[in-house]
Amino acid sequence: MKTQVLIVDDSEVYRIFLRQILSKEDDLEVVSVASNGRLALPRVNHYKPEIILLDYDMPEMDGLTAIPEIKKISPHSRIIMFSSHTTKGAQLTIAALERGADDFVTKPAGSLGGATGESLKAILLEHIRAFKPVLPTKIPVQQPIRAIGKFFQKKKFRFCVVGISTGGPPALRRLFQNIPSTIKGSILVVQHMPAIFTAQLAERLNEECDLTIVEAQNGIVPQAAHVYIAPGGKQMKLLEHNEHVIIRVEESDPRELCKPSVNILFHSALFCARDTLAVIMTGMGEDGYLGMKALSQHGAYLMAQQESDCVIYGMPQKPVRDGLVDEIHAVEGLAKKITEYLS
């Protein structure tokens, strides 16, 4: 059965481009297009499409205004926003995700010809198909792979490392609003986002939560009740330095697909694994799996967001299936456990 897509964009160039590229895919069907949110609503009501590609800046009803109206009409429709690589674009993206958008894709600058159009096509198809339900496998969940002594360690940790992607901003908001500023440990987060977006995310979360939430900077010592968001486009690590633990922020290897990468953060914490709580949350792909496996083997304690609570059950799926995870909870349950284990 084909995935139905509705395109909502005031740019005729984009409407034509998107319809052309998506109509060529055997598993997708463009059911309709609209030039603004007001015109989109009756189409949403009629088709109840699985995917809605939604622009921000449109006449009569813009994307931000349209999101809650769309969700009222068709709660199960997945909304993918178009964003821009600007501070304003990042602010609007975070606001859209808070209002109910499920994902976003950044619009390239300039024309849609050649490599630019092909790149946008590949990214869009990946994001759209990530929402397609995955049939449950018959592979049984294995028993956790535990390091010697893991059963006997105390559940008190200095660090909590978190990996998250699609569906992350609203999940992080729920998470941190339920963790008090009395915790004694530090939290480090890799959220898959471009540069500028992570700074805006940290700023927004810091305004809404009791914890101190900042975009990470190179060379700082992690403080209690602080959350450090990895900067988009770079890599964040934990590092031993002069008998202290510091945060290292560095340029990413161009060959690395995820910038920032959950695996890179998780692997960097191996030296302090027994002081580390690792959490894998909603997101497409498998970034974080290898890091979870290594941390488990070195004595870290692992938790995952439960499937029914994830926007996309990609990143937690394999660690859970392979028995690496010690506990599975919805976001509020994860917050309760993090509070307990970092206190």
**What is the predicted pLDDT for the residue at 145?**
47
% pLDDT > 70, the chain: 94
Q: What are 79-104's pLDDT values in tens digits?
A: 999 988 888 989 999 999 999 999 99
pLDDT at residue 197 tops 70: yes
pLDDT at residue 320 tops 60: yes
**What is the predicted pLDDT for the residue at 142?**
52
Tell me, yes or no, if 165 is annotated catalytic. yes
Tell me, yes or no, if 77 is annotated catalytic. no
Give the chain's domains with CATH numbers: 3-130 (3.40.50.2300), 150-341 (3.40.50.180)
Tell me, yes or no, if 298 is annotated catalytic. no
**What is the predicted pLDDT for the residue at 272?**
96
Catalytic residue among 32, 102, 192, 309: 192
Q: Give the C-alpha separation, 139 to 100, whole Å.
A: 33
Catalytic residue among 165, 186, 268, 296: 165
**What is the predicted pLDDT for the residue at 154?**
60
Q: Confidence band (pLDDT; 50, 70, 90) for 1?
A: confident
pLDDT at residue 138 tops 50: no
Q: What are 326-341's pLDDT values in tens digits?
A: 999 999 999 999 999 9
Question: What are the structure tokens assigned to 254, written together?
Answer: 């161009």
Q: Which residue has the higher pLDDT, 134 or 131?
A: 131
pLDDT at residue 150 tops 60: no
**What is the predicted pLDDT for the residue at 69?**
97
**Weakest-pLDDT range from 64-68, 109-113, 117-121, 237-241:** 109-113
Catalytic residue among 62, 103, 287, 322: 287
The mean predicted confidence, pLDDT, of the chain is 92
